[in-house]
């Protein structure tokens, strides 16, 4: 059998190759991918060659634990169906469905897997997509889970002033989740007008262009409570831009928290820590979705957190969050668009259904 796969062949270079694949082994399942989602954050660091030398592609995902070397496969948001019976397939299908039926399983499953038209996976690595969530929307699961993790790490309190810096897909999902809390203010910051409009649609109390002439004044006004400028209680830095972290420090109030969800890769981060940072007891919190925060592990597991992510996804206007859909064969064009015209993109989806090549 052959499949089509996306490969990063060098920084800035993408190829879609046809390759032979081994049949399922043991209890593995053969999965036919329907759609996969491109990460405009982490994945674009690989595309641009901005991942630190010697770092594993992703230590939390099977098959991506090796050091980064081109050519490489990367990606972690595939949704597909179980294929026809292969070796071990009937038993594995029964494990997924919970019965002994040998009928074809037409349900959709999510997998943390690179962009491939077909792949083999053990049953325990596949996540059943809840009824009513279409495949493109289900492909947003990693971003939704990241948003849940960010909010858990920031632990917003009633009446706090919260600032979200960066309204890519993760920033918007985080805004949507924060909007469910009884906050005093939820201010979203991004230079792109269509992203600011979406943030308001998802529940932000105000959306501000930081690059606008009146941006700093609007931000200060939005975060002034009863005439008192106390600084922000909780800030999420999700822009992917190191300079934004320094601006977050400047906006933070006494004993405030800054949750850093951005991964900067090899981009240098210069922070001015000689002023308000020290005396204001500002806390920098690194948030990463590969693990649950240690202090939450008594009651929270990844499975429980993922269930919360599904609940968030089910409420979202996915059609407004997905800006582009490309056939798998045009993956190179999709990455080029994200890299060169970020103002035009939000979530980009690859459609695999026409990219199946079986023998």
Separation of CA 174 from chain center = 10
Mean pLDDT of 139-167: 96
pLDDT level of residue 62 (50, 70, 90 thresholds): low
- Across 1-15, 114-128, 164-178, 210-224, least confident range: 210-224
Q: What is the DSSP string of 244-292?
A: HHHHHHHHEEEEEEEEE----TT-------SSHHHHTT-EEEE--TTS-
- What's residue 244's pLDDT? 87
Domains of the chain: 2-140+319-351 (3.90.180.10), 142-296 (3.40.50.720)
- Indicate the range of 221-225, 302-306, 314-318 predicted with least confidence: 221-225
pLDDT at 92 (0 to 100): 52
Q: Look at residue 104 and tell me whether its pLDDT is greater than 90.
A: no
The residue-averaged pLDDT of 79-96 equals 65
- My answer on whether omega of the bond before 71 falls inside 30° of 0, hence cis, is yes
Tens digits of residue pLDDT in 242-284? 888 888 888 888 999 999 988 877 777 777 787 778 888 989 9
Which pLDDT value is given to residue 101? 43
| Per-residue model confidence (pLDDT) at position 224 | 65
pLDDT at residue number 97:
54
Report the pLDDT value the prediction gives residue 350, as an integer from 0 to 100: 98
Say whether pLDDT at 78 is over 80.
Answer: yes
In this predicted model, which residue has the larger pLDDT, 7 or 343?
7
Quickly state the pLDDT bin for 106 (edges 50, 70, 90): confident
Give 103's pLDDT tier (boundaries 50, 70, 90): low
How do residues 228-244 score in pLDDT, each as one tens digit? Answer: 666 799 999 999 888 88
pTM recorded for the entire structure: 0.88
Residue 174 has pLDDT above 90, yes or no: yes
Give dist(CA 128, CA 235) in Å, integer. Answer: 34
Which of these, 206, 204, 233, 226, lies nearest to 217 by C-alpha position?
Answer: 206
- Distance of alpha carbon 317 from alpha carbon 283, whole angstroms: 33
Supply the Cα-derived Rg of the chain in whole angstroms. Answer: 21
Among 281, 312, 57, 288, CA closest to 172: 312
Does an H or E element contain 93, and which?
A: helix 89-97
d(CA 260, CA 245): 8
Q: 15-24, 45-54, 80-89, 206-215 — which one is most confidently predicted on average? A: 15-24
Region for 340 from its dihedrals, namely left if φ exceeds 0, alpha if ψ lies in -120 to 50, beta otherwise: alpha
pLDDT score for 161 = 94
Can you list the positions of beta strands (E) in 103-251?
Answer: 108-111, 118-121, 127-128, 161-165, 185-189, 206-208, 224-225, 228-229, 232-237
The answer to whether residue 355 scores a pLDDT higher than 50 is no
What pLDDT sits at residue 197? 96
Residue 338: the pLDDT is 95
Q: Summarize the confidence of residues 163-171 as an average pLDDT.
A: 96
Q: Does pLDDT of 147 surpass 90?
A: yes
Share of the chain residues as helix, strand and coil, in percent rounded to the nearest 5? 30, 25, 40
The mean pLDDT value for 120-132 works out to: 95
275 vs 28: which has the higher pLDDT: 28
Per-residue pLDDT band at 100 (split at 50, 70, 90) = very low
In the chain, the N- to C-terminal Cα span, in Å, equals 5
Dist. CA 4–CA 197, nearest whole Å: 37
Mean pLDDT is lowest, of 53-67, 278-292, 319-333, for 53-67
**Amino acid 245: pLDDT:** 86
Residues in CB range of 202: below 8 A, 6 or more apart: 172, 175, 176, 179, 316
Q: Tell me which residue of 139, 187, 175, 146 sits closest to 348, measured CA to CA.
A: 139
On whether the CB atoms of residues 291 and 145 are closer than 8 A, the answer is: no
Helix axis angle, 302-314 relative to 169-178, nearest 10°? 90
* pLDDT number for residue 54: 56
Record the tokens describing residue 169, joined without a space: 């897909």
Q: Show the tokens assigned to 233.
A: 């209680």
Main-chain phi, psi angles of 121, to 5 degrees: -150, 145
How many other CB atoms sit within 10 Å of the CB of residue 255? 11
The structure tokens listed for 35 are 């759609």
* Average pLDDT value for the chain: 87
Instruction: Classify burial at 162, counting beta carbons within 10 Å of its beta carbon; exposed 0-12, middle 13-18, buried 19 or more.
Output: buried
């Amino acid at each position: 059998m052959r499949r089509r796969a996306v490969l990063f062949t060098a920084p800035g270079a993408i190829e879609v190759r046809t390759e032979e694949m081994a049949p399922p082994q043991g209890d593995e399942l053969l999965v036919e991918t329907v759609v996969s989602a491109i990460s405009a954050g982490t994945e674009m660091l690989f595309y641009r060659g901005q991942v630190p030398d010697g770092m594993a592609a992703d230590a939390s995902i099977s098959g991506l634990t090796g050091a980064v070397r081109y050519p490489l496969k990367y990606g972690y948001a595939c949704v597909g169906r179980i294929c026809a019976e292969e070796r071990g397939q009937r038993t594995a299908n029964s494990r997924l469905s919970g019965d002994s039926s040998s009928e074809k399983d037409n349900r959709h499953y999510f997998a943390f897997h690179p962009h491939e038209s077909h792949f083999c996976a053990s049953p325990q690595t596949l996540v059943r997509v809840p009824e009513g969530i279409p495949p493109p929307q289900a492909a947003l699961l990693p971003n939704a889970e990241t948003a849940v993790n960010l909010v858990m790490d920031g632990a917003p309190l009633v009446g706090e002033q919260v600032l979200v810096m960066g309204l890519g897909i993760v920033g918007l999902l985080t805004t949507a989740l924060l909007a469910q809390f009884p906050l005093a203010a939820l201010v979203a910051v991004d230079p792109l007008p269509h992203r600011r409009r979406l943030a308001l649609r998802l529940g932000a109390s105000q959306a501000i262009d930081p690059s606008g002439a009146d941006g700093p004044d609007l931000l200060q006004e939005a975060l002034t409570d009863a005439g008192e400028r106390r600084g922000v209680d909780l800030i999420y830095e999700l822009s992917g831009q190191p300079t934004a972290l320094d601006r977050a420090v400047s906006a933070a109030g006494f004993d405030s928290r800054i949750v850093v969800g951005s991964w900067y890769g090899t981009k240098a981060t210069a922070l001015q820590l000689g002023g308000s940072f020290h005396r204001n007891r500002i806390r920098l919190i690194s948030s990463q979705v590969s693990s649950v925060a240690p202090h939450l592990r008594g009651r929270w597991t990844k499975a429980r957190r993922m269930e919360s992510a599904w609940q968030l996804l089910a409420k979202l206007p996915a059609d407004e969050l997905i800006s582009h859909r490309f056939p798998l064969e045009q993956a190179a064009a999709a990455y080029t668009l994200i890299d060169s015209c970020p103002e035009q993109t939000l979530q980009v989806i690859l459609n695999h259904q026409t990219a199946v090549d079986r023998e």
